[in-house]
Chain A
Amino acid sequence: MNEFHDTGERRRSSDTPLLITDLIDEETVRSIAQEAWSALIGDDEFLVPLPGGPPDDAVSSWVDVVGPWTGTVVLTCSRATAEELARCLLAEHAPPVLDAEDVHDALGELANVVGGNVKAVLPGPSALGLPELGSIPAAGPPADTCRVDLLWRGRSLTITVQGSAGAVHITPENNPQKNEVPL
C-alpha cells in the first residue's frame, strides 16, 4: 500500500502538480474496494483483478476529491450490475421492487465509500464531494489516472481514480444524448 508521509515541507503553487500514480497504486485501490464489498455486499464477495471489457450500457457514479490532489473516484459498471449491487447492498432491507432511485443511490453510496477511503490514503486535508451519477466521465490524463479493472460475479466493473485536469464529466444535464443510459 502506498502511504503518504508528510515531511513537513509545504507545497508552493509553482510546484509540479501531484499525480495520482505517485500517491496510490492499483493494488491499494483494489484492496479498498474489496474491503467495501466484503462489508457492504457480503463476506464472500470477491473482486477479481481481471479486465472484463467495457459494458455496452455502462453507468458510472463518482465522488470528487478536492485537496493537495484534486480529482475524481469513479465506479463504472453495467446497468444490470448496478441493479444486482443495489439488491445485495440492501439485502433483507430491499423493497420487493427496486426503483431507479434505489439503484442510483446504491451505486452512489459504493462510490462514496470507495472514494472516502481512497481520500484517506491521499495527502490531506481534502474534501469529499457528494456522489454523482451519469454516463462514463471523460478519462483524465494517463499519468494522473489509476485504473483498476475487476470482475464481480463474472461481471465487469472498473474503478478509476483520475486527476481533474482536462476531465469533463458527462451528466444527464449536460449531455442528454444517445449514450445516456436511464436507470
Chain B
Amino acid sequence: MRALVIDDSKVMRRIVAGILEGLGYEVQQAGHGREGLDVLAGGWVPELVCVDWNMPVMDGLQFVSAVRSNPTWRHVTIMMVTSESEHGQIVRALAAGAHEYVIKPFTADAIRDKLALLGLLPQDVVR
C-alpha cells in the first residue's frame, strides 16, 4: 500500500513516514498541500494521505477540499494529523471529507489503531 505524508515540518514528516514504512507502506512526502496535490496530479495516487492542518501555501483543510472535489481521487482515505484539537476544527475537517483525525502529540500505536479502524493495515501486520 502507498501513503502520502504532507507536513511542513520535515521532522514530523520523517516520524509519520517512519511509522507507516514500519507498517509496510511505500511512502512519499510533501511539504504543503499544493505539493501534495502535485504528487497526486503526477499520477502517484496512494490509498492513504496523512496531512497536517497548519501549513504555508496550502493548508490541510484546503487540500482535503481539493482532493474531494476531484472524482479521480474520491477513493483516497485522508487522515488529518494535527495539533488543532478544538472540537469545531475536527468537525470542519470531517465535514470537508477527512476520514480520521489524529491529534498531536500522538504515538505510533495511535496511528496504527486509526489505520486498523479504517481497514488500512497491511494484511501481514494485521495477522
Which residues in A have some Cβ–Cβ distance to B below 8 Å?
35-36, 38-40, 86, 89-93, 101-102, 105-106, 108-109, 112-113, 115-117, 119-120, 124-126, 128-131
Contact = CB atoms under 8 A, between A and B. Distances in A.
21 contacts: A36-B104, A39-B105, A89-B11, A89-B15, A90-B11, A90-B15, A91-B15, A93-B14, A105-B11, A109-B12, A112-B54, A112-B104, A116-B83, A116-B103, A119-B85, A124-B86, A125-B89, A126-B86, A128-B54, A129-B54, A130-B55
A105 B9 contact: yes
A126 B89 CA distance: 10
A112 B106 contact: no
Interface in B81-107: 82-86, 88-89, 103-107
Question: Interface majority SS on B: helix, strand, loop or mixed?
Answer: loop
A116 B82 CA distance: 9
B10 interface: yes
A93 B14 CA distance: 6
A113 B83 contact: yes
Contact of B107 (A39, A119, A130): A39
A102 B15 CA distance: 12
Contacts of A89: 11, 15
Interface of B: 8-12, 14-15, 17-18, 54-56, 82-86, 88-89, 103-107
Question: Interface majority SS on A: helix, strand, loop or mixed?
Answer: helix
B13 to A, nearest CB: 9
B18 A40 contact: no
B88 A116 contact: no
A93 B54 contact: no
A120 B104 CA distance: 12
Nearest to A117: B85
Contacts of A108: 9
Nearest to A131: B9
Given A93-B15, A109-B9, 15 more contacts: A36-B105, A39-B106, A90-B11, A102-B11, A105-B10, A105-B12, A112-B9, A112-B54, A112-B83, A112-B104, A115-B83, A116-B82, A116-B85, A126-B86, A130-B8
Contacts of A36: 104-105
Contact of B54 (A39, A124, A130): A130
A89 B11 CA distance: 8
Nearest to B10: A105
Contact of B84 (A39, A106, A116): A116
A27 B86 CA distance: 20
A40 B103 CA distance: 12
Contacts of A112: 9, 54, 83, 104
Contacts of A102: 10-11
Nearest to A67: B86
A101 B83 contact: no
A112 B9 CA distance: 10
